[in-house]
A and B are shown apart, each in its own frame.
Chain A
Amino acid sequence: MEEVKESHQKRWIHLKKVLERPGPFTHPEFEPSPDILDFILSTCKILIIGAGGLGCELLKDLAMMGFKHIDIIDMDIIDLSNLNRQFLFRHKDIGVSKAQVAANYINARIAGCQVTPHCCPIEDKKEDFYRGFHIIVCGLDSITARRWINGMVVSLLNYDDNGVLDQSSIIPLVDGGTEGFKGNARVILPGMTACVECTLDLYPPQVTYPLCTIANTPRLPEHCVEYVKVVQWPKENPFGVALDGDDAQHTTWIYEKALERANQFNIHGVTFRLVQGVVKNIIPAVASTNAVISAVCATEVFKLATSCCTPLNNFMVFNDIDGIYTYAYEAEKKDNCTVCSNIPHPVDIDDPCKMKLKDLIDFLCENIKFQMKNPGLTTTIDGKSKTLYIPTIKMIEERTRPNLSKTLIDLGLRDGQEIVVADVTTPTSVIIKLRYTISDVEIN
């Protein structure tokens, strides 16, 4: 027992130097205390999204840093091509869930660490799951997934009646990304600093070629592959299913057809590898870039969890194609961001059993705060979108007109329901949140 304690002391000696002593570079309001280490070791819950190139690095970094309660989520299974850089996986693990194998490896290797794997798409987990974490860190390869988790952490924010953010509802998001020798790391404080949606324009668009070029005047081997993918596949539909870049049969078919087309136009350079690259939009992954970006992200997680140092504010880029270059700048929060500037406006409803949708629309038009002209309303009920009323589209107007004379209760709108309102008077959609004041009356 004594021995265990001693090794424990030694293991965290470096963290203690940072967390239990003041220093010239600490955060101005930082108060050194042994409690902070205790928080990391016993309380702090971290979620890692993605168990791929960045995810393996992140899990290793955070676990060795002392974080003990780590969840990791990834829907993918291990593929042979992952093994060169996703170092928690071995040949025998091919075909098994990434999250599961990564968690097992770390749990076996690092004493006291409890990694919980989740082998599912992030969309399968609900608000309550994400709310349970102190910090979320992402190692993702898709913009769609980044936008989804960003929307999730923003939707967890609480605002009071004056629109003031409740700070305890903030779950910081640390996001890393790599592409070949380039990478970036950023810290998002939802509701306070720029979110993924604020900076959506920063993501490079997918490489596309003009349709007429690939159809008539191909010059590059990529044009031939793209032609087969976009035109020939839907036309001939050789396997009767949608194109799957992971299916060897599919890629082989594309490769053969693309080669035919290349020969026809005297184009050289169509290889199987190129076909795979174009079909799946593959960019070669570089292990060292993942290591660098993950180290930055893990450090940010540590800073956020401990306050021992001011976190990155808020976007860092890294590039080592030609020498080493890094730069950090403050990405600006957008005032009209559809996601993070869209603070739900509470609307008090006296009696949802009597109030009709028409009354709600009249309220939005007449109320001094909204003064709308001709609003369209949609909402989400049980995860499914529902159009309440859109006056500007003839067909929808006709179909949703009967909703106007239904009461809010009849429409299935509950207390706390968020309704998306689009109107010419606002640059983006506005969200209103229904607040029923009737609950007491019902009890009586």
Chain B
Amino acid sequence: MEVCESFNNLTEAALQKKDGEGTPRSGNQKKASAAQLRITKDLSELNLPKTCSTEFPDPDDLLNFKLVICPDEGFYKGGRFIFSFKVGPNYPHEPPKVKCETQVYHPNIDQQGNVCLNILREDWKPVLTINSIVYGLQYLFLEPNAEDPLNKEAAEVLTTNRRVFEQNVQKAIRGGYVGGIYFDRCLK
């Protein structure tokens, strides 16, 4: 009933509103977009593990930034890996676009920097945050997943011989050829 009454008031108000005459309102700055509001909240609550840090080339642009991960355990200990985050205007309906900018020998990351992490594509939900992605990426370095590979060769080595895989990873981090592909040095 409350809604009905309001509807009626509304039309009365509309009828009184003269053609072309706007309601005065102080301040005419464009309001922050819904994506902007949400990313501000995400970032101010960012709770980074000690192995991760962020870089903002432009502090006024919260929609484009980099995440640096330096794993302190596991296969990738000692490496330094950079990911670029691009948050679009449809965030959080759509996930941010995340690419790995460092060449890495990893079953779930390919040579073009595509990352196979479920929450970056098919399992993204608006309730997830930038923090969820950070933890997802960190987990990829601790537990590379050979079952859903992007780099099939690396995945095969991981399943058949973990020692060789570990050596390959460390070789790639120090810079050099692994399986005919050259990796740039990315030591911390």
Contact = CB atoms under 8 A, between A and B. Distances in A.
A147 B6 contact: no
A369 B185 CA distance: 53
B184 interface: no
A428 B92 CA distance: 13
B86 to A, nearest CB: 13
Interface string A401-444: 00000000000001111101011100011010100000000000
Interface in B8-53: 8-11, 13-20, 22-23, 25-34, 36-38, 40-41, 43-46, 53
B60 A385 contact: yes
A94 B171 CA distance: 59
Nearest to A428: B41
A39 interface: yes
Interface in A56-91: 69
Interface stretch (B69-77, B121-129, B135-143, B162-170): B121-129
Interface of B, secondary structure class, is loop
A417 B30 CA distance: 10
A434 to B, nearest CB: 8
Given A158-B25, A390-B43, A151 B31 contact: yes
Contact of A386 (B16, B60, B89): B60
A288 interface: no
B15 A39 contact: yes
B6 A189 contact: yes
Given A29-B5, A230-B114, A415 B27 contact: yes
Given A311-B7, A376-B40, A390-B44, A155 B31 contact: yes
Interface string B88-129: 011011100000000000001010101110101110111000
A395 B56 contact: yes
B5 A208 contact: no
B3 A387 contact: no
A212 interface: yes
Contacts of B28: 126-128, 416
Interface string A377-401: 0111111111100101111100110
Contact of B10 (A151, A167, A215, A431): A167
A27 B44 contact: no
Nearest to B20: A132
Nearest to A169: B23
Given A148-B33, A392-B46, A422-B43, 5 more contacts: A168-B14, A170-B13, A306-B11, A380-B29, A429-B40
Interface of A: 27-30, 39, 43-45, 69, 126-128, 131-132, 134-135, 143-144, 147-148, 151, 155-156, 158, 166-170, 172, 189, 192-193, 197, 200-201, 203, 205-206, 208-213, 215-216, 230-231, 234-235, 304-307, 310-311, 313, 338-339, 342, 375-376, 378-387, 390, 392-396, 399-400, 414-418, 420, 422-424, 428-429, 431, 433
5 contacts: A166-B23, A209-B122, A216-B150, A415-B27, A428-B41
